[in-house]
Structure 1
Amino acid sequence: MMWGGAHGWWGGLGMILFWGLIIAVAVFVFRMLTSNRIGETRDAMKILKERYARGEIDEEEFLRRKQQLQG
């Protein structure tokens, strides 16, 4: 009887893949539950600064909106 034959290799590989999949799903679920992406609230001034830095708005628009946000 060959206990360590070809079936043993496939069984071991299958077990590694099975546990790898279980761990990957657990990590994915954990990240989704602890993520702030859903319902995330970001500071308006920070968003404004990011848009200005990326060049989406010019200086005049930035200053106008900054003034509106500050008061």
Structure 2
Amino acid sequence: MMWHHGGNWDGFFPMMFGGGIMMIVFWGLVIWLIVYLVRRSSNEKPYPKDQAIDILRQRYSRGEISTEEYRERLAELKDSLNV
């Protein structure tokens, strides 16, 4: 059997090129995932308009404000917060 010790680089360069692209894709996905998770965690805070309306509903349900006052304040909140 004869061994070939020549310079057969046919498989080396495509593999090196493909491996480089795969490394770039891998790190791109890792960075995208980190950015996605950071943005997602910062968006989980309750939105102020939702909080204001929830507080108003709680006060109304406890009887602290009348129906008329509830409707007026709710209309004002919706107008000012563009709900």
State TM-score, norm by structure 2.
0.47
**Map of 1:34 onto structure 2:** 42
Instruction: Give the C-alpha shift of residue 39 in structure 1.
Output: 2.0
**Map of 1:5 onto structure 2:** 13
Structure 1: 4+ residue segments shifted above 4 A = 43-46
Structure 1 unmatched ranges of 5 or more: 52-71
Other structure's SS at 2:46 match:
coil
State TM-score, norm by structure 1.
0.53
Q: Please show how residues 8-27 of structure 1 align to structure 2 within 5 Å.
A: 8-27=16-35
CA deviations 1:7-51 (Å, max 9, x no partner) are: 00000000000000000000000001112x552122664641436
Structure 2 unmatched ranges of 5 or more: 1-6, 54-75
Identity across the alignment (%):
22
Other structure's SS at 1:39 match:
coil
Q: Quick check: which has more Rg, 1 or 2? A: 2
Number of corresponding residues: 50
Amino acid at match of 2:48: T
